[in-house]
Structure 1
């Protein structure tokens, strides 16, 4: 009986860690998606207080365009890398001589 409780406890802890990992990943993904807006605010404030060749509206246009381009283009590198790590095929590529 204690063995089955210990197994159940281990499985629950593992599942909790697994779910927490994806919540942290989701938070970081959302934060990276908001990065152009954060930087837009920083540069707009800097344009108002400093002497730049560009006005704050120019910075807003640039960062909004960067956000739109970033949202419409999907990069698959991280998903391919994650798949290779999970499947164990990445280590074969790392060990091959040049």
Structure 2
């Protein structure tokens, strides 16, 4: 799996362009060379830490529209929510990533 934060973000933005939409955490793992079914807590935290530090991508949930998580969201807390679920793959699909650069925002 990709671990360089800049490359992670580049991969996420590339995936968004390819699908012409926002992507979920499961998509984000795949965009960074890791099948969601094989993704570990650490893999997800690595992606989320890159997102947290990037001005180009943000995380949120979709309820009629994209709603950003509060600024104080924690990568480890989101990963804990995902991996404490009985179905982590479905939980990954509850968190969405979008570009803040006008593309798919």
Provide the TM-score with structure 2 as the length reference: 0.27
Higher helix share: 1
Provide the TM-score with structure 1 as the length reference: 0.28
Larger relative contact order, structure 1 or 2 (CA cutoff 8 Å, min sep 6): 2
Higher strand share: 2
Give the number of the structure whose alpha-carbon radius of gyration is greater. Answer: 1
